[in-house]
Structure 1
Amino acid sequence: MKIRQILNNNIALVDRGGNEIIVYSKGISFLKKVGQPITEAEIEKVYVLDSEDRLEHFSYLLQATDEQLIEIVNQLVTFGKTKLNTTLNDYIYLALVDHLSFAIDRSKKEQFISSPLTWNVKKFYSKHFEIGMYGLDLLHKQYAIEFPEDEAVSIALHFINQQFDEAVLTQTNSDLKTLKHILNIIKYHFNIEFDETSLNYSRLITHLQFFIERLHRKENYQEESSVLFEQVKTLYPDAFEAVQKIAIYVLGKYDQELTQDEYTYLMLHVHRVVQRRD
């Protein structure tokens, strides 16, 4: 491989088999010149981007970004791959360098973002949120900046976006909103705050996630256990009223009516989460 362009002491644009790639390693370009070779043994990280425009954009960013931030991004992506046990497209390095550079600039003006997805990401993408918090910790250690949790969500979304194509992500966000709306119906009906650490809350969340998936597939429980339905309805009238409100919401959003069995299971979960200890 021969050097095409030196971006800084640690990064170079090289020619590998007729393709341009970016290579990283501490001191890899130090005292070297364009046209000189670089061996595989000298390289710590290779960035392969899928278009010339992205390669050019990333090259520019790397030249304009301080070396400490590049190292932070490398550590963050490595942590993310391990945490999610997955591979990630190298485009995420470009996206994170771009995003974090701007975030640091904003912080100097005390301009911090507020994300409407903070609640959703913390509850349902906890691993991705943990990656975001790890990134904030790295930034704090290097730059002594106290970012709010919303910034961790913004970092987490880069990793979420990498794992879902646009159509799936759009559907996922829609499902998260549905889940939150149903939880709010229960919360405001009983005028309570959920104990989000409880087993019954976790069971309710799991049931609702599968319930929403069934709504998409237009599937319902069809065991026709009308006796059990009447018993539960009689035993837990408040839960029945809450599920009636959920049924109205579902009818309006999905144009589907709940079966007696869906009513029964929802009533049981609602009653447990608002009345019982684990």
Structure 2
Amino acid sequence: MVQIVQVFNNNSALVDIGDHRQAIVSGKGIAFNRHKGSSIVSDKVDKIFYLDTKESQKTLYFLLKDIPIDIVTTTYEIIDYGVKKYNYNVLDYAYITLSDHILGSYQRILKGNYVENLIPDMHDQYPVEYAIANHALLVIENNLRVVFPKSEIRGIALHFINAKGNESQTVTLKKNESEDINEIVNKILNRNQIFRVDANSNYYDRFMIHLQYLAGRLDEPEDKKELNPNLEVEMRNSYPDSFEIANDIYEAIQEKLGKDLSSNELIYFIIHIQRLIQEDVKS
């Protein structure tokens, strides 16, 4: 018998499926008048998202502290689609960064202050990631009743590109290296008069999450293909201020830790910094 571990709302719950495994289930009225220990009516289950590892369970609990459950289940559905349709697996931290991204865009659209992202189009290099992101917009519209701009495909695809992994791969957070990286980044950001304020808090926190998991990725084998080198030149020309700050961070981290970073990281740094300072595109 499948028992409820936690009720999220009338339409979704966390359940125990045996063998120390859990799953998120959703369906209309599936958890109505139910509580912890209640059984689930299986024919009401529309969707199920498995949490097969302790790490994935921890990730869910982390998300539920700050992210509405509808955003969380939408994120799981998008990633689940990538896994089933394209056998595309991502590291657990993608659930955190992608849900944060969706929540931020969702809130800005509702408030009427959405600004189209200026992430370069890389669909020729990453057709699978862009196909998943394109489908993501349909899932978001169906689940959240809001239409995301087409430019969001580029932003969502980047989360998949940045967090591609395999089923057996996990990223272990390394406290010492993570603290070193954060110290470097904060010093450079402060030197450039970039601080966390209400207006940029979403982007700032997302950058910090990226950096936190960067420390855990440093010793992992690099199996992701490099981004087009022309992209670095293009972004350097378009966002010279962002490039200079990002490059300072990129070089300082390598020097401090004595490890080589993928050139992809520089691109991601530029994108994060550009979001923080909203630098005008240079023609």
Of structures 1 and 2, the larger Rg is shown by: 1
Structure number with greater CO (CA < 8 Å, separation at least 6) is: 2
Return the TM-score normalized by structure 2: 0.48
